[in-house]
Amino acid sequence: MTACHDLHIWAISTRETALTAHLVRPVVENDDGLLRLIQEQLHDRFAIEHTTIQIEREPQHCRQASDDFV
Ligand SMILES: [Zn+2]
């Protein structure tokens, strides 16, 4: 993973937190394994239960990416 953008974290109830993010990963590898690892780390370290993460190869094509990526 080389970058992260469009990161949002919010409470969906008094006991549950959600997270969405775009991850930049130019090399195609085991994305399912990476997503599982990220989910486990977010759960274990920050008690975030609900995650939605998208992986992008080329962030310049993303409308939510900063101009800094171009
Ligand atoms: Zn994006």
**How many structural domains are present in the chain?**
1
- Which residue's structure tokens are 């991850």? 23
Within-domain flag for 44:
no
Within-domain flag for 41:
no
37-53 per-position pLDDT tens digit = 999 999 999 999 999 99
Task: Name 19's Cβ contacts closer than 8 Å, sequence gap at least 6.
Answer: 7, 8, 9, 42, 48, 50, 51, 52, 53
Within-domain flag for 65:
yes
Ligand 1 centre distance from Cα of residue 47 (Å): 24
Q: State yes or no: pLDDT of 67 exceeds 70.
A: no
DSSP letter for 60, please. G
Task: Name 67's Cβ contacts closer than 8 Å, sequence gap at least 6.
Answer: none
Within-domain flag for 39:
no
Within-domain flag for 34:
no
10-66 per-position pLDDT tens digit = 999 999 999 999 999 998 788 899 999 999 999 999 999 999 999 999 888 899 987
3-state secondary structure 30-52: CHHHHHHHHHHHHHHHHCCCEEE
Ligand 1 centre distance from Cα of residue 58 (Å): 9
Ligand 1 centre distance from Cα of residue 64 (Å): 5
Ligand 1 centre distance from Cα of residue 9 (Å): 16
Ligand 1 centre distance from Cα of residue 26 (Å): 13
Range of the domain at 63: 1-28+51-70
- Tell me, what's the pLDDT at 70? 44
Within-domain flag for 66:
yes
